[in-house]
């Protein structure tokens, strides 16, 4: 089913229970509001401090960092080449020689998990960044100009959201092919919508703010208002959403590759490695466990990162727990 789970809009956000009559507690951000704090640097420090308080996010940052470094350095750290075969030692369980075992063609599973991670993570980040670009442009145009432009763009966005994403991916992917570039492109087509909606919402409210009106009164052109005055204020929510999109994109790539519509063998990706394990599931389960675990850990880490970033950058949307 389409990944509603990683749709940031669905990550319901609750404010802590309002306790009436507890004044005397300076609200967070109170100092800034009073004009008592120094400039942007302090804001950044505050955000970092809030992020550090989120223990799971900090742990995830470390783990995800290690995963990214290891996979990016796959050609250096991997014990073998990803197409290197040891035919006589096919389907061997994990051992001193092959930490994660070998697959049907006698290839080292650890090596392929590292190389596969490289593809999976690059696709995830690529999709998230491309979606950020498209989503921000569409959302900004819709929110800033409003009126008919807004209506048309948002109808289109809603229609795209209603599309059964996986079917769309399969059909379009089959038409366009399945190189890494195409897969990023196709996934972007179904991932930009949440961002467009969030950016639009931000623009709608920010464009009514006094500082924007002041800029307008001073004769600033639309472009300048968008880029200098509004966009910098939407960086927080955009960053949070993009992070969560990385997780969604990694999952979707894995799903597509699993079905055979994504990254094609022999280039490994976690999704096609898991698919490849199906034939030997009962005899060589390590072919499933290791890419599977890598995928789960990565996705959890990215989700926690997004959560921590929300606490840090978007404190008005803090979750209740």
Give Cα 133 to chain centroid, integer Å. Answer: 13
Q: Does 22 bind other proteins (CB under 8 A)?
A: yes
249 binds other proteins (CB under 8 A): no
Taken in order 267, 278, 77, 71, is the CA torsion positive or negative?
positive
Residue 274 binds other proteins (CB under 8 A): yes
Residue 303 binds to other proteins (criterion: CB under 8 A): yes
Among 79, 93, 164, 232, binds other proteins (CB under 8 A): 164
Q: Are 316 and 11 in contact (CB under 8 A)?
A: no
User: Under the criterion CB under 8 A, does residue 24 sit at the interface with other proteins?
Assistant: yes
Choice from 59, 62, 69, 167 touching other proteins (CB under 8 A): 167
> What's the CA gap between 196 and 99, in Å, rounded?
44
Our CB check for other proteins shows the closer of 60 and 111 to be 60
Contacting residue, 88, 148, 219, 320, with other proteins by CB under 8 A: 320
Rule CB under 8 A: choose which of 113, 238, 299, 312 binds other proteins: 299
Burial of 27 (0-12, 13-18, 19+ CB in 10 A): exposed
Query: How many residues in the shown chain lie near other proteins by CB under 8 A?
Result: 51
Can residue 76 be called a binding residue for other proteins (CB under 8 A)?
A: no
Binds other proteins by CB under 8 A, chosen from 62, 149, 265, 296: 296
Nearest to 49 by CA among 28, 34, 68: 28
Stretch that binds other proteins, among 21-29, 76-84, 220-228, 309-317 (CB under 8 A): 21-29
285 binds other proteins (CB under 8 A): yes
What's the CA gap between 118 and 97, in Å, rounded?
Answer: 22
Among 59, 73, 152, 171, binds other proteins (CB under 8 A): 171
Q: Which of 44, 49, 55, 174 binds other proteins (CB under 8 A)?
A: 174
Q: Which is nearer to other proteins, 19 or 36 (CB)?
A: 19
**Span interacting with other proteins, options 124-132, 134-142, 190-198, 287-295, rule CB under 8 A:** 287-295
Instruction: For residue 265, state whether it binds other proteins (rule: CB under 8 A).
Output: no
Q: Which positions touch other proteins (CB under 8 A)?
A: 1-2, 4-6, 10, 12, 14, 17-26, 159, 162, 164, 166-167, 170-172, 174-175, 247, 251, 254-255, 258-259, 274-275, 277-278, 281-282, 285, 288, 292, 295-296, 299-300, 303-304, 320-321
């Amino acid at each position: 089913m389409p990944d509603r789970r990683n749709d940031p809009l669905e990550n319901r956000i609750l404010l802590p229970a309002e306790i009436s009559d507890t004044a005397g507690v300076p609200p967070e951000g109170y100092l800034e509001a009073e004009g008592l704090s120094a400039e942007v640097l302090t804001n950044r420090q505050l955000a970092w401090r809030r992020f550090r308080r989120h223990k799971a996010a900090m742990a995830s940052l470390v783990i995800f960092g290690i995963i990214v470094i290891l996979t990016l350095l796959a050609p250096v750290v991997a014990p073998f080449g990803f197409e290197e075969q040891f035919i006589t030692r096919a389907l061997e369980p994990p051992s001193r020689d092959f930490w994660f075992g070998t697959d049907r063609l006698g290839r080292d599973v650890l090596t392929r998990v590292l190389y596969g991670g490289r593809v999976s993570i690059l696709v995830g980040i690529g999709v998230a960044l491309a979606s950020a670009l498209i989503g921000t442009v569409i959302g900004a145009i819709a929110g800033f100009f409003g009126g008919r432009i807004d209506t048309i763009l948002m109808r289109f966005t809603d229609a795209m959201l209603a599309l059964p994403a996986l079917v769309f991916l399969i059909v379009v992917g089959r038409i366009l092919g399945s190189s890494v570039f195409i897969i990023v492109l196709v996934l972007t087509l179904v991932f930009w919508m949440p961002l467009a909606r969030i950016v639009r919402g931000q623009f709608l409210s920010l464009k009514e703010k006094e500082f924007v009106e002041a800029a307008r009164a001073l004769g600033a052109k639309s472009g300048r208002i968008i880029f200098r005055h509004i966009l910098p204020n939407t960086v927080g929510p955009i960053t949070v959403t993009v992070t969560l999109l990385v997780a969604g994109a990694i999952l979707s790539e894995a799903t597509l590759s699993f079905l055979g519509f994504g990254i094609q063998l022999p280039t490994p990706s976690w999704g096609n490695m898991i698919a490849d394990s199906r034939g030997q599931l009962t005899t060589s389960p390590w072919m499933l466990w290791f890419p599977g675990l890598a995928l789960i850990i990565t996705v959890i880490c990215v989700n926690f990162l997004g959560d921590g970033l929300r606490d840090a950058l978007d404190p008005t949307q803090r979750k209740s727990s």
